[in-house]
Chain A
Amino acid sequence: MLCTPILSTTHTHIFSLSQIRVKPDHSGVVTDGVKHSMNPFCEIAVEEAVKLKEKKLIKEVVAVSCGPTQVQETIRTALAMGADRGIHVEVSGKDYETLGPLQVSKIMAALAKKEEAQLVILGKQAIDDDCNQTGQMTAALLDWPQGTFASEVAIEGDKMKVVREIDGGLETIQISMPAVITADLRLNTPRYATLPNIMKAKKKKIANVKPADLGVDLTSRIQILSVNDPPQRQAGVKVETVDDLVAKLKETGRI
């Protein structure tokens, strides 16, 4: 049985799913005034961390988020779910616009070392950019084993058993700790924070850290050329017979 701190990232502070509009200059989407909330896969990650703590398999849960001041709300939600303390890595303005998996994983790796964490749990991907890279990159930077797309996680001594959802079905692996886990949909059902826990969350500490303090360079290797709406859906064409269908498909160069 290990009693160890664990980092759980809530770094993905995503925009609400409705009414996304592309900026007029096509450099990105409008984020001002759009409601932000915790990435659903990160909620599942926080829930798993809290569950492990309740089973007394780990000692402390630290919730981490990278971004402007707004992300503190997301960290507080994690605290209300049962995390012990939070770390807010301040990234704002231009740096935040270009913040991607590589930068976040560098930050997470630095924090994992600094906090002497034994386990880093993240959501498998953010539902705004769908990168599915941060967990894997973090593990690589730390040279730690990784259990990604986890639908079941068990700590057995100093090893972890992870059931992964893969294309062919379910794969069970055993990895040694320290390790990085990314949470998939069926890992658990996140709890609603109870009203008393929301009250208690107010008293829990959120530390402020700058990426420079961690020795992380935020320069992006990627330049966004343009962001565009998907093309408007065109009307379909009806045909009478299968032969007509094949002819039409050939005509439009589809086959």
Chain B
Amino acid sequence: MAALFKARKVLGLAMGCSKRCLTQLAELPEIHQMLRQTCRDFADRELAPIAGKLDKEHAFPAKQVRELGEMGVMAVEVPEELGGAGLDYLAYSLAMEEVSRGCASTGVVVSVNNSLYIGPILKFGSEEQKKQWITPFTTGEKVGCFALSEPGNGSDAGAASTTARQEGDEWVLNGTKAWITNSWDASATVVFATTDKSLKHKGISAFLVPMPHPGLSLGKKEDKLGIRASSTANIILEDCRVPQGNLLGQRGMGFKIAMQTLDCGRIGIASQALGIAQAALDCAADYAHKRIAFGAPIGKMQAIQFKLADMAVALESARLLTWKAALLKDAKKPFSKATAMAKLAASEAATFISHQSIQVLGGMGYVTDMPAERHYRDARITEIYEGTSEIQRLVIANQVLKEYQP
């Protein structure tokens, strides 16, 4: 009886916010439509034509990032007084999807700057820290990065072995961070280090470190399967000293900061996956009209039609989950389960859709003349970073079980 009551209570909570959300899920408000169109125009004209070249040359899209900064896309949620666009997370999700549809690498640069670097400072930083560490990073001139993972732990974030010790009025950081996106192009980073290993995850704190900085060096740029225009490398800290004031939030708050940051970051990555998936679907559907086989365009064949239908359903479902997560966050309602579901659905949709897109293109899908092979390579990482699909499943299961707690 009690279980039934609790379950109904949860249902009521979910229904409460749904009235406004549902209309927005069916059709976006006018501003969001305009915003989406503007980002799409930018992506079509400035990103899509060079995405292949950026990928081949592993070249950071500095000019495009600056232009996105001018448009306000590098700091969507940041209030206007601090130099941002002052918009909501639904707007951010739409901007991310359109940018990623043009170029997935540019998408991840935008996402890391918005959600992983600016995100925690906006939420946990002092007014002084926000002015110093956010405002210069809203224009696209500078980007930031997020250093949580280490060679010894990715999913196991609580086991951080990078240390921070206090010496006078300075913090001294030692350790190595791995897989840091934007590292070679960043001007600052949020670093997670432990001040007391015995406290396990409760001993972790977050620090703001400028780049370049004495005691901070970069490992080699990783040679990746996809998102090659964004840099990924180790960050090595050897007696790296930062002032007291560079502690973000309170001592011991680091793990909480990291987890809450990743919750929001998931909406960004889900949106990136949606963009890649949409680009792959566009490619396949267009080809289905033009390619003639057995006397007719291949789009007339059921085998191809069924593929396109499955791709479209996977994409649209993931998109709705992503918008729902963004709307819940904007409404300040609990959104952890929604973002985990969005990231899981979108990343798996992206790998499925880009895989099928190559299949629809046949031999043409396998060569670099068509973008299908790049979408396939770009999609793969979305199931791994910012929380692997396995971690997302744990988060979701945790939430589901909570709802049925006897």
Contact = CB atoms under 8 A, between A and B. Distances in A.
Nearest to B91: A195
B71 interface: yes
Interface in A175-208: 192-196, 198-199, 201-202
B85 interface: yes
A124 interface: no
Nearest to B87: A195
Interface string B28-39: 001100110010
Interface stretch (B72-80, B251-259, B329-337, B389-397): B72-80
A193 B38 contact: yes
A193 B87 CA distance: 14
B31 A192 contact: no
B136 interface: no
Contacts of B38: 80, 192-193, 195, 198
Nearest to B71: A194
B185 to A, nearest CB: 22
A198 B34 contact: yes
A199 B86 contact: yes
Given A194-B72, A195-B91, A195-B95, A77 B85 contact: no
A164 interface: no
A29 B354 CA distance: 35
A252 to B, nearest CB: 31
B282 interface: no
A196 B35 CA distance: 9
Contact of A196 (B41, B67, B80): B80
Nearest to B30: A202
A106 interface: no
A80 B34 contact: yes
A76 interface: yes
A196 B31 contact: no
Nearest to A80: B34
B67 A202 contact: no
Contacts of B42: 192
A63 to B, nearest CB: 14
Interface residues of B, number: 19
B30 A195 contact: no
B239 interface: no
Contacts of B71: 192-195
B403 interface: no
Interface in A200-228: 201-202
A113 to B, nearest CB: 32
Interface string B267-311: 000000000000000000000000000000000000000000000
Contacts of A202: 30-31
Given A80-B38, A199-B87, A194 B70 contact: yes
Nearest to B68: A192
A73 B37 CA distance: 11
Interface in A77-97: 77, 80
A185 to B, nearest CB: 15
Interface in B18-36: 30-31, 34-35
Contacts of A201: 34
A80 B30 CA distance: 13
Interface in B89-121: 91, 95
B128 to A, nearest CB: 24
B368 to A, nearest CB: 25
Contacts of B70: 192, 194
Which of A77, A80, A195 neighbours the largest number of chain B CB atoms within 10 Å of its CB?
A195
Contact of B85 (A80, A192, A196): A196
Interface string B361-374: 00000000000000
Interface in B34-62: 34-35, 38, 41-42
Given A192-B41, A195-B95, A196-B87, 7 more contacts: A192-B67, A192-B70, A196-B72, A196-B80, A198-B38, A199-B31, A202-B31
28 contacts: A76-B30, A76-B34, A77-B34, A80-B34, A80-B38, A192-B38, A192-B71, A193-B34, A194-B71, A194-B72, A194-B85, A195-B35, A195-B71, A195-B72, A195-B73, A195-B87, A195-B91, A195-B95, A196-B72, A196-B85, A196-B86, A196-B87, A198-B31, A198-B35, A199-B31, A199-B86, A201-B34, A202-B31
For the complex of A and B, the 10 pairs showing the least CB-CB separation, nearest first, are: A195-B72, A195-B85, A194-B71, A194-B72, A198-B34, A193-B38, A196-B85, A192-B42, A198-B35, A192-B71
Interface of A: 73, 76-77, 80, 192-196, 198-199, 201-202
